[in-house]
Structure 1
Amino acid sequence: MRNHGLIMPLPPDDVAASLRLAIDFLPQGIGVFDAGLRLVVSNQRYNSLLALPNDLTRAGSALFDIALFLAERGDLGKGDAARLAIERINFITAAPTTVTLRIANSGQSLEFHSTRLADGGLAIAISDVTDRVRAEKELEQVNLTLEGRVAERTAALTRVNAELEVARAKADAANHDKTRFLAAASHDLLQPLNAARLYTSTLIERAKTTAFAELANSIEASLTAVEDIMSALLDISRIDSGALKPAPTIVAARDLLRKMEVEFAPLARERQVSLRIVATDAAIVADRTLVGRIVQNLVSNAIKYTPSGGKVLVGVRRRGNRIRLDVIDTGIGFNRDQHKLLFAEFSRLDRGARMAQGLGLGLSIVQRLVTALGLTLELDSREGTGSRFSLYLPAARNMRSQVPVVPPAPEPGFGNFDLKILCVDNEEAILEAMRGLLEHWGCDVRTALSLKRIDKERLLEGWYPDLVLMDYHLDQTSGLDAIEWLRHNLGGHLPAALVTADRSPAVRSLAEERGIAVINKPVKPAALRATISGLANQRGLG
């Protein structure tokens, strides 16, 4: 939106509305309650499955009032409604996780999954399992009358199997529909968040010595939390639906570890944790993007849950025909009884929850990726001493000498660039935010909404860009094709980076084939500076 000629970021309400839309798309009913057992948020499926009146679906509604309404309606059986409501609440809050099944007044079979959250709150998921229960009852009835009815048994089992196959096909179709929806929605959901992150980054740099510095950093932390939630939900959806297809290639382990150093060195310094990356010349066979995601989560956790003054070590060791990648820390650690709890969704150890914010999804994603890639993850830890997570990867045989030696890029500093940069994006707000940040870094910036606008406004007459930052989803073409068009018309090799919310391996692979760097939205200033430095070095401008 515009206000007195200024481009303003979309308000947080728009991001929240987009997130609410995504939650409402889920086939399960979802309700989240705070530590006082008052409703924080519920989706439309939750409200419809319980057939709640509007006054009990508003934020702040007490769980007791909802349970009392259900008891008075007869959902919880015969007896005193208040007593039944209290007994129900006590049951679902007594254990970390409970699973119950009951028949609604409408005749539906509803399965309730209740999970206590780290902050004392409660998450409830409701699934309509009517078809499954009906199929189970029909199968049970068939089994009771099997003797002397071989023909009937065969027909009944055939019918039940057909029903189960139809149900499975419908479930698979729904899962694929959900994945397609989230993939399409992710771009629109991340666009306003990307603009907000860019504006906030500029604000943080300009407000360093002012009274607004703390406020700017608080906004940045909130946006980071939203981004983490979005990324985790999208990752889980892709993995569970089978949309992630591993594409193993030969990867230099040092490149993977160097990326971890560039990404996490600032966080380690901020938390006063020593991060050491051990040099190696080993090569592995792995999907670079998916294995990188696993290591990112492990290193991030190690730093977050290591107190100030502690150490984090990342390195590799050869073990037969495999490479063992270790992430070792001197953090809070955990005992053997807590191993399963670590990998459960929305599960966090009490001490860890006090040290750092999070949803408890990081290690759940790690476990899913390890399973999808057919790898092995080993862990060893002592409570109060530290932890070691070890990922076993196939070693590349006799390929060590073929892996090119890439000199490590210098860690991005905080000085100014003296570069001409062309930015292309179909969102005006993102272009304005990117211009503000890059001009603050000393760049000469020109922006365009499309290739046609570049030509129409004659942006390149007498002005040759040192590099290009190009959005992937343009209105009339893809960013990859747009970069090729610019290279063809400007001549020579034009350093370029693709800026995209699409995190699929296919897009990254296409970009790498054309020598184009990739920056994921929402754009992080440190990653942007590192990419610009690397592109500038390609042309000897750094």
Structure 2
Amino acid sequence: MTDMAASLQTVRADPHLRAALEHLPYGIALFDSGLNLVLANTIYRVGLSLPPALVAEGTPLDAILLFLARRGDLGPGTPDVLADQRRRLIAHEPATLTQRQSVLGRHLEIHTSSMPGQGLVISFSDVTDRIKAEAALEQINHTLEERVDDRTRALTLLNAELEKARAKADAANHEKTRFLAAASHDLLQPLNAARLYTSTLFERTRGTPMADIAASIDASLNAVEDIMSTLLDISRMDSGALKVTLSNFNVLDLLKKIEIEFQPLAREKDINLRVVGASLIVRSDRLLLARVIQNLVSNAIKYTRPGGRVLVGCRKRGKNVRLDVVDTGIGIDRHQHNLIFTEFSRLEPGARIAPGLGLGLSIVQRILAALDHPMEIDSIVGKGSRFSVSVPLISGGGRLEPIKEDAPQPQPHSQFTGLNVLCVDNERNILDAMSGLLENWGCEVRTATSLKEIAQLNMLEGWVPDLVLMDYHLEQTSGLDAIEWLKQIVGGHLPSILVTADRTPAVRRLAETRGTAVLNKPVKPAPLRALLAQVSKRGG
């Protein structure tokens, strides 16, 4: 007897093994080498829905297969042929695995394992629940994919709409900035002429009642200029047009230039303005940092009463340089420090002392945020304020000898007597006003609206300018290119000042790379006088 036969005989005779087969979770049937049924458990009979006669011991496998084929379990076709095909497959393959649906609608996974000449084992598992779970999972996955696709399409459409809205907003901001720049230039041109005429009127009527009227007109024009310039700056910053260009520079040089700019205003208010400190190399955007200090110094002078003091200084603090603007002005209550940075917000004491819209410190806050420079405020009501800005110090930049603190002394108008000044601007009324002011200071002035006019009138024949005041926006070229042309004509050296309503840092940087000072329109007499003295070397 073979091993398989012996095993079948053992199973047939052992009641414990037969009981164990009954407790298996799947159907099982054992066939001998002649493919006759030895035994089958209940799950096998019930799962295949076989009549009791077909699970009796000794039932041929052919009979079971023919029954199943006739019932349709083996698929469409002739039952005898289907049964024979199935028997051949089982007999010739060591093992098979098939899956089909029973007449009861259950999904069965059927395994056969045979050894030639020794017998056959057939078992099956009911995988209906598994198939349903897989189908449900597939449906869930399909539904999830559809939902993901729908969500992706929705997000894509939303992103496209947001991109369109962003592009539209950027275009609107750009257009607004462009419009404001163009409008401000057009408005500042006549305002510039009005300021120059008023300044000339004031100086010629000094000591008479008309001087007070001229001073009032000049103050009103100054307020208009400040409002326009500030609104343009805020618009440029909010539209993202503010560009930061970092460089290393001597911060004390910057403070000294600011001192020269504001000294005339301080003297007019009888305020002692001083700059102290040492030469320290810092890293920042020089023009934007200058704008911050200018606004702080302007506020300090504005809110300090006559006889007071304004001190501008710099000192090393660890890895930074602290720039201080200290005044003996009206001071700010510590509970109101945040309010002073809000647009159009002015505290009552300051509003009584000086006119304005309260926009200067709003610009300071925006610039410092762009530069990432922290600022501190220390103020006592009635005693004064200290605004401090921290700027990165460049290690190894060197510490130079402190610059003397002596403030510039007032210079008489006669210091410009005989100074040849060439004024070029495409607005004739601005030229007339500028000419009147400069001639009142003793200058010899010639004016032209273009380089073409200079050439046509042979303006430079027998007359060499000591200095040129050049408008930036000319009809056929830029003022900086025009200055280069004039330098070639007069022999290379020609002190120059670019006079422009364009307040963008790019224009100022371009001018300074060419060694040309910049004066913004509308031109104020005090800064013009200070810059003339500096550029012409007639400081007295």
Give the TM-score normalised by the residue count of structure 2: 0.69
Aligned partner letter, 1:483:
I
Aligned partner letter, 1:518:
V
Q: Superposed, which structure 2 residues align to 1:127-166 within 5 Å?
A: 152-166=150-164
Q: Superposed, which structure 2 residues align to 1:126-525 within 5 Å?
A: 152-400=150-398, 410=408, 413-416=411-414, 417=416, 418-525=418-525
CA change 1:273–1:541 in 2 (3 A) is: closer
Aligned partner letter, 1:349:
L
Aligned identity (percent) is 64
Higher mean C-alpha deviation, range 399-408 or range 503-512: 399-408
CA change 1:541–1:459 in 2 (3 A) is: farther
Q: Superposed, which structure 2 residues align to 1:7-26 within 5 Å?
A: none
CA change 1:421–1:273 in 2 (3 A) is: closer
> How far apart in 1 are the matches of 2:174 and 2:483?
32
Compute the displacement of 1:424 (Å): 0.9
Compute the displacement of 1:496 (Å): 1.3
Residue 288 of structure 2 aligns to a residue in which SS? Answer: helix
> How far apart in 1 are the matches of 2:407 and 2:336?
39
Aligned to 1:536: 536
CA change 1:541–1:157 in 2 (3 A) is: closer
CA change 1:309–1:446 in 2 (3 A) is: closer
Aligned to 1:135: none
Aligned to 1:57: none
Q: CA RMSD in A?
A: 2.5
> How far apart in 1 are the matches of 2:465 and 2:459?
10
Compute the displacement of 1:504 (Å): 1.7
CA change 1:226–1:382 in 2 (3 A) is: same
> How far apart in 1 are the matches of 2:173 and 2:382?
41
> How far apart in 2 are the matches of 1:209 and 1:330?
31
Aligned partner letter, 1:447:
T
Deviations 1:438-483 (A, max 9, x none): 1111111111111111111111111111111111111011111111
CA change 1:503–1:532 in 2 (3 A) is: same
CA contact (8 A) 1:472 1:479 kept: yes
> How far apart in 2 are the matches of 1:301 and 1:340?
16
> How far apart in 2 are the matches of 1:436 and 1:409?
29
CA change 1:315–1:541 in 2 (3 A) is: closer
> How far apart in 1 are the matches of 2:325 and 2:402?
25
CA change 1:271–1:488 in 2 (3 A) is: closer
> How far apart in 2 are the matches of 1:320 and 1:404?
19
**What is the count of residue pairs matched by the alignment?**
394
> How far apart in 1 are the matches of 2:476 and 2:147?
65
> How far apart in 1 are the matches of 2:268 and 2:404?
28
> How far apart in 2 are the matches of 1:532 and 1:324?
31
Higher mean C-alpha deviation, range 161-170 or range 494-503: 161-170
Aligned partner letter, 2:357:
L
Aligned to 1:137: none
Aligned partner letter, 1:473:
H
> How far apart in 1 are the matches of 2:455 and 2:309?
53
Compute the displacement of 1:331 (Å): 2.2
Compute the displacement of 1:307 (Å): 2.9
Compute the displacement of 1:399 (Å): 2.4
CA contact (8 A) 1:469 1:499 kept: yes
Deviations 1:60-111 (A, max 9, x none): xxxxxxxxxxxxxxxxxxxxxxxxxxxxxxxxxxxxxxxxxxxxxxxxxxxx
Aligned partner letter, 2:325:
V
CA contact (8 A) 1:252 1:403 kept: no
Compute the displacement of 1:149 (Å): 5.8
Compute the displacement of 1:411 (Å): 5.0
Give the gaps of 5 or more residues in structure 2. 1-143
Give the gaps of 5 or more residues in structure 1. 1-145
> How far apart in 2 are the matches of 1:270 and 1:466?
29
Deviations 1:200-227 (A, max 9, x none): 1101101112120110000000000000
CA contact (8 A) 2:262 2:527 kept: no
CA change 1:412–1:460 in 2 (3 A) is: farther
CA change 1:329–1:406 in 2 (3 A) is: closer
